[in-house]
Amino acid sequence: MRILATESELGKVSKTIIDFIKEYQIIAFRGDLGAGKTTLIKNMCNLLGVIDNVSSPTFSIVNEYESGEELKVFHFDFYRLESEEEAFDLGIEDYFYSGNLCLIEWPSKIESLLPEKRLEIHISIAGEEREFIINKMN
């Protein structure tokens, strides 16, 4: 699925992605620096009723958010990871198989640890818009 959207239309993109979370709890966000991964995740968390401050976990690697619907959301940013072993030491598999929603920035840093079943969101800049390509991985 391909969606073109401006920043003001992120709600539409977020809603489309959220519609998949009953089937996919692991969502990997791919895109260059500045493509809008964190902005999209903040928008999604807002729609999910997250009551915590949503920010990029660049240094902490993972942030945990609570929502009003008792949904736990784990937000990962693996940009600074040196090896997959660091993610393994973090207990990444416990997060991935907890049944909670896992939103992953820079999944390429942990490629072999990603669950086979996941949603892939590819974000690229297309002029004034962003292009979002959503792929189901099974």
pLDDT tens digits, one per residue of 55-83: 888 778 999 998 876 779 999 999 999 99
Contacts of 27 (CB under 8 A, 6+ apart): 17, 20, 21, 101, 102, 103, 104, 118, 119, 120, 121
3-state SS assignment for residue 47: helix
- Provide the percentage of residues in the chain whose pLDDT is more than 90: 80
User: pLDDT band for position 98 (50/70/90)?
Assistant: very high
